[in-house]
Copies of this chain bind each other. A is one copy, B any other.
Amino acid sequence: MLGLMQEQPLLISGLIDFAARHHHDGQIVSRRVEGDIHRTTYAAAARRAKQVARALDRLELQFSDRVATLAWNGYRHFELYFGIAGSGRVMHTINPRLAPDQIAWIANHAEDQVLCFDMTFLPIVKAVWPQCKTVRQWIALCDADKLPADSGIRNLRSYEEWIGSESGDYTWPTFDERSAAALCYTSGTTGNPKGALYSHRSTILHAYGAALPDGIGMSASDAILPVVPMFHVNAWGIPYSAAMTGAKLVFPGAALDGASVYELMEKERVTLSAGVPTVWLALLNHMREKNLKLSTMKRTVIGGSACPPAMIKAFRDDHGVTVLHAWGMTEMSPLGTVCHLKNKQLELPADQQLAVMTKQGRAVFGVEMRIVDPAGKELPWDGQTSGDLHVKGPWIIASYFKGEGGDPLVDGWFPTGDVATIDPDGFLQITDRTKDVIKSGGEWISSIDVENIAMAHPAVAMAACIGVPHPKWDERPLLVVIRKPNAQVTRDELLAFYAGKVAKWQVPDDVVFVDAIPLGATGKVQKIKLREQFKSHVMASPT
């Protein structure tokens, strides 16, 4: 027997309609590529999203046709999120940090019909447009009078001119909630990128999960600055959850340096932010140098890579900001876990709380987790035993777009490629990527543990630990370090810093100081490149 409730599909259009009706003057503030600050509201964004829908109708785009974006976080990108998916097309966000050839490959693979880009990315578009066979309309996200006359790009229009002549009077179509809504390709460190094809249902359920108090936690009393990009994994779903809750949105555009982010946080009274550790490093350094404090910020979500405990402590002790360590991935919409203390942990001393907060946190309802050994046997949640992390749930992929890579699931679970422990309270700790684990003498060394210790040293700005081939031990850890400006620390001092913090055999064999560490398109350290670079490194103190 079925229940007797109203059958209403979960659709992305419902989010923007809700925001326009219940938070019509809810603010959307954007630092534009043009450099100025732009202000609009949910009601205006909803109207313009409908203009986008009409403009796509006029181009005769069919249901599920893909429309791509190469854009920063801003109001136009936000409008596209809802206009494209709301009208039944698929919002395909492309990461502009990928190499132009990869971008062209992705656009062709996705069969994008329209591609909208911020002017910052004009050089990329100039380079790739002839290769993008399926794109029949290019849209520059600018006013009509800013459109370059001599770009050479065929079928190029400005966004404002494109939607400007369309009416904002439009009724969103209703369809199966399992329909495709958004497409995002993995960064693809090995092989070609693969697409995660989100549905309306998965997006709405994820938006609920992300907005929960123990998720990212969003409400109409928040002002949220997503540093995490809308061009990758939907800015952790923040655009959707913000519309769901009516939170004020503050978009930083292209200016992600410490000074710009700080200025926007203070001027717009931001309460909540989200981003990868590298961005926060820049912000913390800027504030330290200029002796600045955050006055309205309460929480920041840090994910994408493991957040060093020293960063959590700096935000807490220097700025009264709670770092919410989080973990997820493209294939998970992306949210998996967020680190919030439980009731029973609220009375713990600060250092014990910090120990909890350095973990990636607990699953949001909608995400099931397990850790397994190489034979697929489930491992205990004891906080000690590490294994391959598998996940399952309604906002996790079943397969990749066009079936690339075959069936990724193992007994219905998605193998994340992460190695993790889970403690009895359900707190996940990523100890490594499967491929980054350092195998030394039959034992595993967590590269993240080694890095976190280095990051706690006052002279270290950034650290990456990789395994280097070793004749006897298989691999041994090498620490690659960027020193802070004007800071001094020697190899021996840094290695001595490990004493008592890890077992002796887990201490790196050597340290190399560098000026830069290669980062991938999503801001993660490219260990594959580091391993290549240092594969013949001779350790100064061979074991």
Which residues of A approach B to under 8 Å, CB–CB?
1-8, 10, 14-15, 18, 21-27, 63-64, 90, 176, 178-181, 196-202, 205, 208-209, 211-214, 217-223, 244-248, 333, 340-344, 346, 362-363, 365, 368, 392-401, 412, 414, 424-426
Q: Is the CB of A340 within 8 A of B221?
A: yes
10 contacts between A and B (CB under 8 A): A1-B63, A3-B202, A4-B399, A5-B201, A5-B397, A8-B394, A10-B205, A22-B425, A214-B221, A246-B362
Residue of B24, B180, B341 touching A424 (CB-CB under 8 A): B24
Output the nearest chain B residue to A370 by Cβ-Cβ distance: B21
Besides the known contacts A23-B425, A26-B343, 11 further A-B residue pairs in the complex with CB atoms under 8 A apart: A2-B179, A3-B179, A3-B181, A3-B202, A4-B196, A5-B199, A5-B202, A5-B398, A220-B341, A245-B365, A246-B362
CA of A248 to CA of B425, assembled, Å: 14
List the B side residues contacting A244 at CB < 8 Å: 365
Q: Is the CB of A426 within 8 A of B4?
A: no
Q: Assess A393 versus B6: contact at CB under 8 Å? Given A64-B1, A180-B1, A342-B23.
A: yes
Q: Assess A362 versus B1: contact at CB under 8 Å? Given A6-B397, A8-B394, A247-B343.
A: no
CA of A211 to CA of B5, assembled, Å: 20
Residue of B64, B212, B248 touching A212 (CB-CB under 8 A): B212
Q: Is the CB of B222 within 8 A of A343?
A: yes
Residue of B8, B22, B209 touching A393 (CB-CB under 8 A): B8
Q: Is the CB of B220 within 8 A of A398?
A: no
Output the nearest chain B residue to A8 by Cβ-Cβ distance: B394
Output the nearest chain B residue to A17 by Cβ-Cβ distance: B368
Q: Is the CB of B4 within 8 A of A397?
A: yes
Q: Is the CB of B198 within 8 A of A3?
A: yes
Most chain B C-beta atoms within 10 Å of own C-beta, residue among A5, A64, A248: A5
Q: Is the CB of A340 within 8 A of B197?
A: no
CA of A475 to CA of B233, assembled, Å: 61
Q: Is the CB of B2 within 8 A of A342?
A: no
Residue of B8, B21, B205, B398 touching A4 (CB-CB under 8 A): B398
Q: Is the CB of B220 within 8 A of A18?
A: no
Q: Is the CB of A22 within 8 A of B363?
A: yes
List the B side residues contacting A220 at CB < 8 Å: 214, 340-343, 362
Q: Assess A4 versus B197: contact at CB under 8 Å? Given A213-B213, A213-B218.
A: yes
Interface residues of A, dominant DSSP:
loop
CA of A181 to CA of B247, assembled, Å: 33
List the B side residues contacting A425 at CB < 8 Å: 22-23, 25
Q: How far is the CB of A295 from chain B (nearest CB, A)?
A: 14
Q: Is the CB of A213 within 8 A of B208?
A: no
Q: How far is the CB of A345 from chain B (nearest CB, A)?
A: 8
Output the nearest chain B residue to A402 by Cβ-Cβ distance: B4
Residue of B346, B412, B414, B426 touching A21 (CB-CB under 8 A): B426
Q: Is the CB of B209 within 8 A of A213?
A: no
List the B side residues contacting A340 at CB < 8 Å: 219-221
Output the nearest chain B residue to A179 by Cβ-Cβ distance: B2
Output the nearest chain B residue to A396 by Cβ-Cβ distance: B6
Q: Is the CB of B343 within 8 A of A248?
A: yes
**4 closest cross-chain pairs (CB), A and B:** A3-B199, A1-B64, A22-B426, A208-B208
CA of A223 to CA of B3, assembled, Å: 31
Residue of B18, B181, B212, B398 touching A6 (CB-CB under 8 A): B398
CA of A212 to CA of B244, assembled, Å: 10
CA of A400 to CA of B8, assembled, Å: 17
CA of A412 to CA of B343, assembled, Å: 42
Q: How far is the CB of A449 from chain B (nearest CB, A)?
A: 24
Q: How far is the CB of A63 from chain B (nearest CB, A)?
A: 8
Most chain B C-beta atoms within 10 Å of own C-beta, residue among A7, A26, A200, A213: A213
Q: Is the CB of A2 within 8 A of B362?
A: no
Q: Is the CB of B197 within 8 A of A3?
A: yes
Output the nearest chain B residue to A214 by Cβ-Cβ distance: B219
List the B side residues contacting A176 at CB < 8 Å: 2
Output the nearest chain B residue to A65 by Cβ-Cβ distance: B1
Q: How far is the CB of A281 from chain B (nearest CB, A)?
A: 28
Output the nearest chain B residue to A1 by Cβ-Cβ distance: B64
CA of A248 to CA of B344, assembled, Å: 9
CA of A6 to CA of B7, assembled, Å: 21
Residue of B5, B63, B181, B211 touching A213 (CB-CB under 8 A): B211
Output the nearest chain B residue to A195 by Cβ-Cβ distance: B4
CA of A199 to CA of B7, assembled, Å: 11
Q: Is the CB of A246 within 8 A of B342?
A: yes
Q: Is the CB of B248 within 8 A of A395?
A: no
CA of A504 to CA of B367, assembled, Å: 59
Q: Is the CB of A395 within 8 A of B5?
A: yes
CA of A295 to CA of B397, assembled, Å: 46
CA of A208 to CA of B341, assembled, Å: 20
List the B side residues contacting A90 at CB < 8 Å: 1
Output the nearest chain B residue to A182 by Cβ-Cβ distance: B3
List the B side residues contacting A214 at CB < 8 Å: 219-221, 245-246
